[in-house]
């Protein structure tokens, strides 16, 4: 009765209708998700529509995530700060001159304004650390001072550990650094000096990190770990720690993953103090040292940072978190500052000649003292300039705007908005550092310009570079120790060695994951044969 084609059409229609009925709940769910997403994106856009920024980034987090998957996100944010920092059509109607603030994702602002950075970090500020900081927990269940989000808890922890970081409570601190500088010089001279007819290339980036890791171990635990002594990456620690930072960056984009990592079924796959290699092994060494020192034994005194922490009431669990932070973050960041200072000095013969002349004229002790190094103006200008052109930490340091919001430079920042820093934008600001802000030129900190810089300009430059270490309540506690290491190791290497880049077209590798990770800085080293520097 039914033709075959007609019957087949009827069957197909029935199947289509049945499929539509089956898929209807799913299609409705997808439709609801799309509507919610678009509504959320619109309101996020509308709340910050009075700020400029890349068009797509104002509606979607996709550009923000993609920028972080590369290795140059700090340069992208520098460019955004420069491009969108002052846009007259956004500022004139608000009665202000504008300031470097831009939208980089829905509900997320980025600034390179030093004054706003200081305002956010001031002691009485109501700004708080964003969940972004949770990504930098080394133990998913425990905070350290660099990721604690509660302002009061952070302040209390900082009071306990700050005296140790200041160095005043570590007996023989300067001598400890001297000993590790001597070990570095001995390693270079005994194993890596090149003869006139041969090149014995060595990775300066690696040896500098051996130095900073051993120095941190000596300061924190009372003895070096042994990187310089063995000339090896002990326990593959440096290799695995470098691999960890990109992972932390991804966690910072999706902080809710920290709750997943805290699950017992997942936690067993994370680095553990029971591991024989990598971060886990260093965690084990730190834990073992802390275990031996708690509870404190009467009459037993040590001359390290851990002793200071115990004296100021740090608990055993807190001490374990802080020691791992020291090793992981302290060694890498200080190493970057030292590497970049040496690289730029030896890449600029004029700077090298001028610096050697200053050291020669000062006739410092051997080894140089911290006070002597601090009194050398050109050395200090060189160090500042190296930190300026390549700050060791470039992460956005996202903060939550207080619920009542904030008004800055005539523009209202709604409560609940997230705002972060562009350190590279701040440190390459042409209005502060001049039109050659991308050039390595230490003289800018001494006022030696085509037209002499004013005292106000010099103060602004010094204050801006100081912001590379944070400010106020969130200022880097390790700054004084990092400065001590820089003051010691830079002059001693310059006094003793000539360095030249082995591969000029590819001088070193670098990956930025909120912290600069550098490797393969291959150098040729010979003993300095110039005029004796006593």
Q: How far apart are CA 481 and CA 349, in angstroms?
A: 28
Q: How far apart, in whole angstroms, are the C-alpha atoms of residue 465 and residue 445? A: 10
**Element housing 22 (H / E):** helix 4-47
Cβ atoms within 10 Å, residue 376: 21
Of 465, 490, 132, 182, which Cα lies nearest the Cα of 346? 490
418-421, strands of its sheet edge to edge: 101-105, 108-111, 418-421, 399-400, 128-129
C-alpha to C-alpha distance for 214 and 372, rounded to whole angstroms: 24
Q: Which residue has the tokens 């529509």?
A: 49
**Which residues does 515 contact at the CB level (< 8 Å), separation at least 6?**
245, 329, 332, 333, 336, 392, 393, 394, 395
Cβ pair 306, 291 in contact under 8 A: no
Give Cβ neighbours of residue 464 (< 8 Å, ≥ 6 apart): 114, 388, 426, 427, 429, 432, 433
Residue 476 labelled as part of a binding site: yes
> What is the token pair recorded at 163?
């005296």
Tokens 């002691």 locate to: 123
Are the beta carbons of 468 and 427 closer than 8 angstroms? yes
Residue 75 and residue 55: Cα distance in Å, rounded?
18
Instruction: Print the SS3 string covering 347-406.
Output: HCHHHHHHHHHHHHHHCCCCCCCHHHHHCCHHHHHHHHHHHHHCCCECCCCCEECCCCCE
Using an 8 Å Cβ cutoff, are 356 and 342 in contact? no
Nearest to 260 by CA among 251, 273, 271: 251
Do 423 and 396 contact (CB within 8 A), yes or no?
no
Dig out the tokens for 183 from the structure: 């070990």
Cis peptide before 472 (omega within 30 of 0): no
Query: Among 480, 513, 497, which residue's Cα sits nearest to residue 208?
Result: 497
Question: Which residues are documented as binding site?
Answer: 476
Question: Which residues are documented as binding site for heme?
Answer: 476
């Amino acid at each position: 009765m039914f033709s075959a084609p007609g019957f087949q059409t009827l069957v197909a229609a029935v199947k289509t209708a049945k499929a539509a009925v089956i898929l209807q709940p799913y299609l409705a769910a997808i439709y609801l998700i799309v509507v919610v997403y678009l509504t959320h994106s619109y309101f996020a856009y509308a709340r910050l529509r009075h700020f400029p920024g890349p068009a797509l980034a104002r509606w979607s987090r996709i550009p923000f995530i993609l920028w972080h998957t590369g290795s140059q996100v700090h340069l992208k944010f520098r460019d955004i700060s420069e491009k969108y920092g002052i846009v007259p059509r956004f500022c004139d109607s608000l009665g202000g001159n504008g300031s470097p603030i831009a939208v980089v994702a829905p509900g997320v602002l980025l600034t390179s304004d030093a004054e706003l950075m200081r305002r956010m970090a001031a002691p009485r500020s109501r700004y708080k650390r964003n969940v972004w900081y949770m990504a930098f927990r080394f133990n998913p269940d425990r905070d350290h001072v660099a990721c604690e989000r509660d302002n009061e808890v952070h302040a209390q922890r900082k009071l306990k550990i700050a005296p140790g970081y200041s160095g005043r409570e570590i007996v023989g601190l300067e001598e400890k650094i001297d000993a590790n500088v001597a070990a570095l010089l001995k390693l270079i001279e005994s194993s890596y000096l090149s003869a006139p007819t041969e090149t014995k290339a060595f990775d300066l980036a690696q040896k500098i990190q051996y130095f900073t890791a051993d120095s941190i171990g000596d300061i924190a635990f009372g003895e070096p770990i042994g990187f310089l002594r063995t000339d090896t990456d002990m326990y593959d620690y440096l290799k695995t720690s470098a691999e960890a930072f990109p992972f932390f960056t991804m966690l910072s984009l999706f902080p809710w993953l920290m709750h997943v990592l805290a699950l017992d079924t997942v936690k067993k796959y994370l680095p553990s103090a029971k591991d024989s290699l990598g971060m886990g092994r260093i965690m084990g060494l730190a834990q073992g040292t802390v275990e031996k020192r708690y509870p404190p034994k009467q009459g037993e005194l040590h001359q390290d940072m851990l002793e200071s922490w115990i004296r100021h009431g740090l608990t055993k669990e807190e001490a374990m978190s802080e020691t791992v932070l020291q090793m992981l973050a302290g060694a890498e960041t200080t190493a970057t500052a030292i590497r970049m200072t040496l690289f730029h000095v030896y890449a600029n013969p004029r700077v090298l000649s001028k610096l050697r002349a200053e050291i020669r004229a000062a006739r410092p002790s051997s080894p140089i003292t911290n006070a002597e190094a601090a009194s050398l103006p050109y050395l200090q200008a060189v160090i500042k300039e190296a930190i300026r052109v390549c700050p060791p930490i470039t992460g956005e340091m996202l903060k939550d705007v207080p619920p009542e919001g904030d008004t800055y430079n005539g523009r209202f920042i709604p409560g609940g908005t997230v705002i972060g820093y562009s350190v590279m934008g701040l440190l390459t600001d042409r209005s502060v550092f001049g039109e050659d802000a991308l050039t390595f030129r230490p003289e800018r900190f001494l006022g030696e310009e085509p037209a002499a810089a004013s005292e106000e300009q010099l103060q602004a430059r010094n204050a801006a570079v100081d912001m590379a270490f944070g400010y106020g309540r969130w200022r880097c506690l390790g700054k004084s120790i990092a400065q001590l290491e820089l003051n010691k190791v830079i002059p001693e290497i310059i006094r003793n060695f000539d360095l030249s880049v082995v591969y000029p077209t590819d001088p070193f590798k670098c990956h930025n994951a909120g912290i600069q990770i550098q490797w393969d800085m291959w150098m040729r080293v010979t003993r300095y044969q110039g005029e004796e520097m006593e």
